[in-house]
Structure formats: C-alpha cells, structure tokens
Structure 1
C-alpha cells in the first residue's frame, strides 16, 4: 500500500496555521493583562546558561580503548560528536565496538541508560544512539515559521519530503495513516514535547489477559512507580497560582457533580514540572514555571523535568556516551553479537553529508518509541536480520486519544480560560496561561465498564500554534477550552511498513466506543457553563500517546517480547518462548493495551523494571556490578 501524504484538507490546515502564526502580534487577549511584561528578563537565555553551567559541573570516567577509565568533565552538552562512532569502529580487537547500545533516549532508553551506566563495570562501553538532535532549554521554537509542527522528518510525508528535504532533525514528526501519530524527537525523546502529566495506571488495566502473567497482580509496578517519581519529581499547580483555565476545568467538574450529572473526581494533575527555582538530585539547575503554556513545544524557561535534566545526566555521569543525529535503520544477529546499522544526519553543528555506518554490541536495547522501535524491527525482519513474532506491528493503541473543543465566546460573557499560549521570548508572560495541562477529571471508577474509564484534561495551545488554531476553529482561545480525552480503545491497529516508513492501519479508530463516550461527556462539560461543544477538527484521528506494536506476551504466539522486554526468537516456531540473548525492547511499544491515562509514568516504571532485570541477569555479570 502506498504511503499517504498530506491531503488537500491537511495542506489547507497547515497553510491557515502558518498564516495565523504570522498574525501573532495581533492575537493579544482583549482583557487587561494579569501581570506586566518584563522585557528585560531574558528567560530563554537564562535557561540556556543554567543548563550549560550545570552540565559543565558534571564529572565522570569513561572507558579508553585499552580498557582503562579516563576522567572527563562536562562540556556544555550531554551528547558527543556523532562522528566519534566512526573512531570507535573496530577499536577493541576481539570485542564489540560497544558492550551495550541503547537505541533512543525517551522514557525507555533514558531510564535504561541511567540504570545500566550506574552499575557498569570498569571498561564497559555504553552508547545511546538518538535520531534527533540535542535541544538546549531556551532554544526551542517560539513561532510556527521557525519550525514545522508537521513532519520535520522529511521522509514522513511525500509533500514535506519535497519541501523539507534538508531537515530530518526537527523537534516534531507526524506519521500519517488511519491514525495520525505525533512524536517528539531529540535527546530526551517525547519528554521534550509532552504535557508532563505523571498519572499512575489503575491495577484493573494490568489485570487484563493481554498483559503477561507476571504483571497482572495488583501493585507489581509500585516500587518502579516510586523510582520514576523520585527521578521525574512531579508537582501539582500551587494553590496560589491557579489559572483561569484550571479554575474553569475543576469548576466544571464540581458543578456537574453537584448537579448529579457526573460521578467523577476533578483534581490538579501531577506534572513533571518545577514550580520553584532550585537544583535537582542530578545537579541540574531548575527554574520555576512561569505558566506560559508552551510545554508542548519545548520549555524555554528550564522548568520542565524532561529526561535531559534527570535520567540522562545520571547516565552521563555513569559513563554512558550519547550520540545524537544517529538514525538506526536495522539490527541483525551475527554470532554472539548484534550489528546495528545507522545513518548519520548532519546539520550546522555537525556538518557533512549523510553517512551510513554500522557498529557491533553484545547487548542492544531498542527504545525508539512505538513507531520507531516497530519500524526498526519490521525492517530488520524484512532484511532477514531477525526472526520475530508474527505479532510484530499488531496491537497498536492510540490510548483512546480524542480532542474536543468547548467554545464559550457566544454564551456566558464572564467565562474566560486564557488557554492561548503567550511564550516567554519577550520576558515574563503577559498573563498566566498555566502548564499545557493542569487538571484531570477522572472517570476511572469501579461502577463504569473499562471502555468508559476515561480522563479528561484541560489543554492550552502553545504560542507557536495558538494563532493558527484560533483561525482554524474560528474561536477566541481565551474564551474556549480544548479537552484531551484518554481512554480504552481496543488496541486493534497495526503498524506496517509503507514505502519503508511505519504507518498505522486502523480504519475503525474513529468509531471506538470510548470516543463516543468521550463526546457525550464533553457535551455535558460544555453545558455546565453554557458552552458549545464540537470535535477539535485540526487533529481528528490523532494520537500523541501511541502504544503497542512490540507488545508483551507470554510467548511469541501472543507477543513480541516477554515481561522482561526480551525479544522472542521464532526460529523454532511461533509458539516459542525462546528469546534473543541480550536483545530487549523497552518503551511504549511493549504496552499491549490502552492505559486510559497519560502514559509517561507507566512507561518509565516498566523501563525501571526492565533495567533492573538486565543488570541482575547472571548472563550479563561480565558487564554489570552486583546491586
């Protein structure tokens, strides 16, 4: 099946959004600002300087070619020049180029890198290969014209391949298909661009038969959730900093509960965001959130607790070497080792031409995310490098994501939400928008069927996108609310390679029962304050929470990996429980069902568990010290 490019409707949306972005100076809210702009405060520059200074204070030792350890100090950035991969090729005769290679630096890869590096024996080499580039806080895009929110990976759609052939290293990417999947890219993966909501998944989700038996008992993940929270340090919005958006959201829940319409709890969402200045446990300086609303296009203040300020600095100090702009294309088993094929992607900081290469490793952890990991393994199977389960690519879930829009501008003139992001490029925001998401209305209650276990969350629109969204929806975002629904779709999608690119095939995604229930609840939500509900049309059939594709199972008949993340080897047949030694998957792709809530904390907890299994495995005793 041919890969789909952008439709005429999508191109129109892109054009309108770009026009809207050009009108940003005209998009100021009609009301008086809640606080004065302070143009003299250069928040992005302060964030950039703080990050560089923090990295400069880091210390570590790394393996030299002769096996000894050499002391190093941080030099502004966590990543090394990707050209260093060439120098390491064949530098250790009789040994692999790296003992451990981790593909990807999101919630799976960063966790594994940190925990394995902390336990590595002297001389053990660990590499993290990241497809995107390293982004510095304070350097994220602040307007649509400075980046493309749709498919900066030029190969993701035919039209943008023509237009953006020089930019495979953008902050965002879209995968077209029956479900449009948006991903973040860079050192830190999706943590750079997500909404930072750190919710636990309910035990009844893990009790489903699709999950491996080892994970179905209540409380199995609790120790790993605790480790994840200790690193990501989530906080709720302080009571003295409630925004109009959050007040409207929680007020709606309270109103409908008081009327007997809803039996649901509204509360402040736990967010991996700092609300006060300080220094975290990894020595990284953090700034307090200024509530500008730009969490999902990269925090330019240094308040977001993304992976580049916790797990990845911990991995760096443990001796893991990080290489960005390295696009892994395939993996093959050769004897006792794995060969990892890749393409180096140049840019202004690392100039040159695209260059193909390969390296070897004894242990490989694939953590490229749902789309990336599945794409790599599908291609590896297609090329004959691996024999995988026939389940590979199946069981895709969009986590039930559904976007609704509630417009108050033609009803109650007193309802304001201030949900249009204002950014920080001109100093302190004119008025507090809040974090991208601040509140959760939780319908995950025992009396409701699982398909109706839903959370509804308030969304802002980041300043690069807000003017275009306002034009597309013909609405004043300061008098509207965009709602994100997470729920339980049936995980029946399939990721396939279309022209060598991962694409989701799932014609029925729009007709999932959970979406009908979300629409019903959002209609009631709008009615609380006399608003008008409609679907958020710029992102129909959309998911920012792609799950599955390399799902866990008890054998190759039901999954691609086992509960430890080990890849099933089907050389002996599709019922096999035999695994490839030293080959793991650790990211959202192993999750076999929808979660019904934002997935970052659960992905992190699962990765913590897999990392613990790896370093404790006697087969890997030559690489890792006992705990």
Structure 2
C-alpha cells in the first residue's frame, strides 16, 4: 500500500488563515476541499490522530488502547482515542475521533431519506422551497464518495452468509430485500481525488477502521483533495472555544492533545482567521458552541437543543439456524476465515408508511474482528438475561446448546456466535434531546426517550426478523427495564440545528451562526457545517444528507463571497508526510523581562522583577526524526506553545515558526554549547514579536550544570525577525517542580514497537548525557 500521510506537525501552523475548518468528517472534510478549490488559504484542525490503512487496531488489546469513555464525571482513556463513547443516563453515543472523523468507523451507507422528510417544516423555508439545491449537492457528494452496491456474483465476489440470512428475514416478514449503496471500493482503482484504493477484502472490520484501503472515508477523498489544493492539515488539535478580537478576526482557542501542557496549567493556544467553519460533529460542534457562549459569544438559545439519535436501535438474532459469519477478520490474514463482507450490505426497507414517523429501515451488521475475543462470552451471558428463546422441539434446543458450547470452546468463528445476525435499525424518535455543559463536560439530557412508542414497533419487527432465521432475539442490554430503556446511537444529529430565525435554530439555512436570541442577524464568517445542523431524525443513515448539506453550504459561501469552486477532476499525485521515530517533551520556564533594558540580561531581569513584569512560556519541543536530529550539527527540533507576558499583551500570546537547537557548538574560547530557542510571537490584538533565547552550557567554576541547563537568556524584538529592533531583555528559569513534570512528558513518537521506542529513548539519552559529559567532565581528564 502506498497511502500518503496528509497531516503536518503542529509547529508548522501559522498564526492566521483565511479559513479555519474544525473537524474532518463529512461536513468539515467537504468544507476544506471546496474552499481550497475556491482559492482560499485553508487550515483544517482535527482533534484525533491520523491513521493510514494498516494502522487501525486489529486486536482487542490495540482496540482497548484507542477507546475513550466520556462521562458526566470525567474521562477514561486517551483524550483523542479513535473510538469515542459518550455515556449518559438517557442516550449514549458512539463516534469516531481521528482524521476523517466518524467516517473512519461507520458502516459506509449512503441512503437517501424519504422525500417526506425533506418536506417537513423543521427545515428552513429556503431548503423546502428549493429541493434542487439538496439533490444537486447529493450528486456532488456521490461523485466524491462513490457509493455502489455489493457486487454479488461479479469480479469474484461471493454470496455473503449474512446477506443470505437477511433475505430469509425479509421473506419471513413478507418484505423486500435489497442491497444498499455503500461507500466501499470493490476493485483496485484510482478514485476521483487521485488516491489509489484497493478492493474490499470482505474483512468485516469497517467499524474499527479499514486496513485495506477499500473504505471510502473522507481520508480517501475530500481530505487529500483539500491537501492537493493547498489546505494545511493538523491533527491532535483540541478546539476549546471561538471568540472574536478587536480587529474583527475570529480567534480559535485550542490545545495540543498529546503535549500534556495541562500539567503546567498552561493557557490555551490560539490561531486567527477571517472565516471559521465548525464541523466537529453533532457533539463536538455543539460543545464548542456551548463553551463559546459561556466565554461571551452571543448566539441563539437553540444551541444544544433538538438533539436526535436518528431513531437508532441495535439488536441481535443470536444462535440462528443459519450461518452468518458474524465476526470480522481482525488480525487474521485474508483467506484464514470465511468472508464476512462490508459491515452493512443490505436492508429491509419498512418506510413509505401512512405516517412518516412509523417508517424504519432494518440493516444487517457484524462485529468487527478486534472485538472477537470479548464477544462470545458476552453474547452468551447477555442472551441468558435479555434473550427470548424461540419455540422449538427438544432436538432443536439441543442443537442450539451444542452450537453455544462450540462457540465457547472454539471461539467466535464457530457455533452460536458465528450464527448470530446483528441488526441496526433507524427510525424516527421525537428529536427532543438536549445537550448542556456541566462542569465543562458535555451531557445529553433526554428523559424517557427509550419509552417512545416507536421503539416497541422496532422491537416487534426485529423479533420477526430473528424468528425467520430461527434465532434467539437479544435486545440491546441498555434498552431494558433494568436500564430504564436507555438507548445508544451511532448517528447523533442536531444541537446546532438550522432554522429560519434564532428562535427556531442555531444557524440559518446557509449554516451561518445566529448572533442573537431572536431575529436573523448572523455572525459574518462563522459557520457550522455537519450533522449538528440537521433539524430532525432522517430515519436512514445520515452521511449522504450531511454531505449534501455541506456541499450546499460551500456552494452558497462561494456565491456570497464571489468565489468560484472548480469541481473539475484532476489526477493529482498526493504529496504526503513521512513519519519517522521522533521525540517530544513539554517544558515551562518562568522569569522576568523588561522593555527598559536593551542589552544586559541580568539588568533586564532585575528591572522586570522590580516592576513585576513576569514572563513565562510553556513550549512543546518535537523532533519528528530523532535520528536526523542527533546527526545534524544543528540538532534542530520544532517548538509549539504559548507565552504569557503582560508587558506584551494582557492575553496569552501564541507562537509560530518555533525552532529549537539542542547543544550546538558556540564560537568561544571556552568550550561551550548552546540550546537555542527562536520563534515568532503573536498577540490576539494582532501585534507580532520575535523571540530569541539561549541556554549557555559551559564549565565555569563550581558545579553549574543545573544552572546552565535551566537558565534561559531571552531577547524580544519588536518585529518579525532578529533584525527587528530590540524591545527588551530578561532571564527565565526552570523551577524544580516544573522540571519534575517535564520529565513525565518525555515520549517517543511514531515508534513501530516497544523495542524501537526504547532504542530511540536510549539514543537520545546517550546523546544528551554525552554532550554534558563533554562539557563538564571530559576536560578534567
């Protein structure tokens, strides 16, 4: 496989862009692509990491390392783990966190809602009166996402047991079966973004990440298209809130997820833009908007309202009379186990009911391979508690027990578990959920949602689908009396819904954020563009509708700003980044600085102390290629972080173009090495400064190793480079407690194994200690 990495090191980020896009899924990825094509300088910021095919978890252990659980009381797991669970009493959510958003871990289904859904008065009048604007942009989205049906019997693709089981369920229910349009590639080809993709291997691991490059996520199309048209992409950037500065520029406040700057109580970093498009998903965008409101951004009271789980229900036909091939490959190689198929391939369509809200779709599913080691015992236990055994003879019951025993002994690729059908249903809940911030954490409130009458109808249909294949129906354990009928959704929508004015929505039909609690005035240049703007449950998988709305939003932005989006295809060769083992640590230094002294560091420190002129920074030092760093005489790494200096600005200042040099030789009579810090500093008010600092490592009288390595002599220039006039001087130091924290932030990046990680850390340690030995010890022998 030859997939190119799209993201760049965070230290490359500049202080201002024409457009900042937050997120990277079907809303944000599309916005980045289209506005880059329109000639705008775009910066895309994603909280999660970048995974290429082959890097997604394939074992239970690897999957557990990527699970994050957000609860009202706190978080368990990594801040930007790939699999993100938001747990609440009424409605919980599963979503993806990575470059590509939830498209990385969804089931790829492109299904258009019933026309009646788009006719509901929940939508703004502009959409209801111009449905062509929706359909035109559905076509644009389909062109990039390239959905198609499973090609049964073509190009060597066999009948799939789980689809055959769905045919039996449909027949038993007296309903029609059909294959769905899914965003999956079934032949080796170059796609419409110039990315070479590979055919689906039927592994069934769509929902833990496609390791074969066959799944048409935004990482395979819109995001490389954005990169090819000049967009900069940064991962590991957690957006906190949005504000506006005195110059009318948008300020995006963020933190670097893996830098651990919170250990030093460092303030958020920031970057400014003329336009900001929030596309962090229904939960992420709503959380950013709620926090922005708390920080002073004026907005509609509808922010957080009209959340919907899209009527999602998960159920199982356990231990059926037919083989299903339920569990994906995981770590198994192609051919070691029978084909499973894409996560979802087919549907029993129960829409077109006299009452729209009674309609639903039942889709097949499967369990991804990385969860294989946990699923057999779990399902056997759950079936005992929450299952409904079919009426059957004694011999049939014995066969069922034997299949269950076989699964428990031989594993999930045999017996009862291998004969289990997963069902995913979408229907219409009442869409009256609410999202709020409590203790600065997002919480979903929706009392009684699982007791709505529609879910009893879903339950009845799933029992019928299971009965047709001779299985034991097992409900989702959360949708039970003992759990007060709580639900979980994989299709969260709403929270920043569209409306004709601020009393009906958080944004208008263009996605522009309303600037008050009433009326139609908007914040110019601030948009929300993702599933959070959808104002009602769609009753089907929402990805193609979210994509069409995002395409429509970009189309209108181009019209409003006099831009032209060139939709023509060009066969680009994607130019990506190559990752090598690196090293990273975060350090805080504190001290005093004075603008009254231009030449003497000690005087600058003393004058700064007398005037109470504090100066401190928290910087993350990163080398993305530690081998080259250690060999290169300049021993160069990058710097990213934040500065606090009230004499420069009352607000924290962010840095760009940060360069760090470790132990470079100084041209002095006494053997001396320097640690250099160079960076541009930017205030929220738009003022630019240039910072140069150095630590002087040399063997003076007495034991001064600690002092030398922890003392930084700083100069600030009033301009953008070292040639600009000197503004002032000072001295910063590392305090003992902060040094102890710094040691805990030291980590190896991009290591392929624990052995390589240890080797990189050892090489760095040897170089560091060897350099100190050369200065302080060697001259005395």
Q: Secondary structure at the match of 1:147?
A: helix
In the TM superposition, what are the counterparts of 1:192-203 in structure 2 within 5 Å? Answer: 192-203=104-115
Calculate the TM-score normalised by the size of structure 2. 0.64
Partners of 1:301 and 1:354 in 2: how far apart? 40
Q: Answer yes or no: is the 8 Å Cα contact 1:459–1:482 preserved in 2.
A: yes
Instruction: Evaluate the alpha carbon distance shift between residue 151 and residue 529 of structure 1 in structure 2; reply closer, same or farther with a 3 A threshold.
Output: closer
Instruction: Evaluate the alpha carbon distance shift between residue 492 and residue 150 of structure 1 in structure 2; reply closer, same or farther with a 3 A threshold.
Output: farther
Please say if 1:515 is aligned against 2:463.
Answer: no
Q: Secondary structure at the match of 1:107?
A: coil
Q: Secondary structure at the match of 1:239?
A: coil
> Displacement of 1:275 after TM fit?
1.0
Q: Answer yes or no: is the 8 Å Cα contact 2:38–2:558 preserved in 1.
A: yes
Match of 1:146 among 62, 78, 90: 62
Match of 2:169 in 1: 252
> Displacement of 1:144 after TM fit?
1.9
Match of 1:441 among 343, 348, 358: 348
**Structure 2 gap segments, 5+ residues each:** 381-403, 405-415, 480-485, 568-781
Match of 1:371 among 264, 270, 283: 283
Match of 2:22 in 1: 103
Instruction: Evaluate the alpha carbon distance shift between residue 108 and residue 149 of structure 1 in structure 2; reply closer, same or farther with a 3 A threshold.
Output: farther
Match of 2:428 in 1: 488
Match of 2:738 in 1: none
Match of 1:423 in 2: 330
Instruction: Evaluate the alpha carbon distance shift between residue 274 and residue 517 of structure 1 in structure 2; reply closer, same or farther with a 3 A threshold.
Output: same
CA deviations on 1:27-71 (whole Å, 9 max, x unpaired) are xxxxxxxxxxxxxxxxxxxxxx3213xxxxxxxxxxxxxxxxxxx
Match of 1:234 in 2: 147
CA deviations on 1:564-589 (whole Å, 9 max, x unpaired) are 0000010xxx3210010011000000
Match of 1:305 in 2: 216
Partners of 2:49 and 2:469 in 1: how far apart? 44
Q: Secondary structure at the match of 2:306?
A: strand
**Structure 1 gap segments, 5+ residues each:** 1-48, 53-76, 90-96, 258-263
Match of 1:81 in 2: 9
Partners of 1:355 and 1:343 in 2: how far apart? 8
> Displacement of 1:216 after TM fit?
1.9
CA deviations on 1:325-345 (whole Å, 9 max, x unpaired) are 000100012242111100011
Match of 1:316 among 227, 233, 238: 227
Q: Secondary structure at the match of 1:396?
A: coil
> Displacement of 1:251 after TM fit?
2.5
Cα RMSD after superposing both structures? 2.1
Match of 1:357 in 2: 269
The answer to which structure has the higher strand fraction is: 2
Q: Answer yes or no: is the 8 Å Cα contact 1:417–1:480 preserved in 2.
A: yes
> Displacement of 1:250 after TM fit?
2.0
In the TM superposition, what are the counterparts of 1:546-561 in structure 2 within 5 Å? Answer: 546-561=492-507
Q: Which has the higher contact order (CA 8 A, sep 6+)?
A: 1
Match of 1:191 in 2: 103
Partners of 1:418 and 1:626 in 2: how far apart? 45
Comparing 369-378 and 356-365, the one that deviates more? 356-365
Instruction: Evaluate the alpha carbon distance shift between residue 431 and residue 297 of structure 1 in structure 2; reply closer, same or farther with a 3 A threshold.
Output: same
Match of 1:530 in 2: 470
Q: Answer yes or no: is the 8 Å Cα contact 2:203–2:334 preserved in 1.
A: no
Partners of 1:318 and 1:219 in 2: how far apart? 28
Instruction: Evaluate the alpha carbon distance shift between residue 517 and residue 79 of structure 1 in structure 2; reply closer, same or farther with a 3 A threshold.
Output: same
In the TM superposition, what are the counterparts of 1:87-236 in structure 2 within 5 Å? Answer: 88-89=14-15, 97-120=16-39, 124-148=40-64, 151-152=67-68, 156=71, 158=73, 160-161=75-76, 164=77, 167-177=78-88, 178-217=90-129, 218-236=131-149
Match of 1:29 in 2: none
> Displacement of 1:425 after TM fit?
4.3
> Displacement of 1:531 after TM fit?
2.1
Corresponding residue pairs, total: 517
Instruction: Evaluate the alpha carbon distance shift between residue 626 and residue 172 of structure 1 in structure 2; reply closer, same or farther with a 3 A threshold.
Output: closer
Partners of 2:473 and 2:65 in 1: how far apart? 25
Instruction: Evaluate the alpha carbon distance shift between residue 626 and residue 526 of structure 1 in structure 2; reply closer, same or farther with a 3 A threshold.
Output: closer
> Displacement of 1:472 after TM fit?
1.5
> Displacement of 1:219 after TM fit?
4.6
Instruction: Evaluate the alpha carbon distance shift between residue 156 and residue 143 of structure 1 in structure 2; reply closer, same or farther with a 3 A threshold.
Output: farther
Q: Secondary structure at the match of 1:398?
A: coil
Instruction: Evaluate the alpha carbon distance shift between residue 117 and residue 159 of structure 1 in structure 2; reply closer, same or farther with a 3 A threshold.
Output: closer
Match of 2:408 in 1: none
Instruction: Evaluate the alpha carbon distance shift between residue 149 and residue 526 of structure 1 in structure 2; reply closer, same or farther with a 3 A threshold.
Output: farther
> Displacement of 1:467 after TM fit?
3.3
Partners of 2:363 and 2:132 in 1: how far apart? 25
Q: Secondary structure at the match of 2:526?
A: strand
Comparing 582-591 and 530-539, the one that deviates more? 530-539
Match of 1:43 in 2: none
Partners of 1:138 and 1:102 in 2: how far apart? 27
CA deviations on 1:212-242 (whole Å, 9 max, x unpaired) are 1122245541111111111001121112222
Match of 1:543 among 477, 480, 489: 489
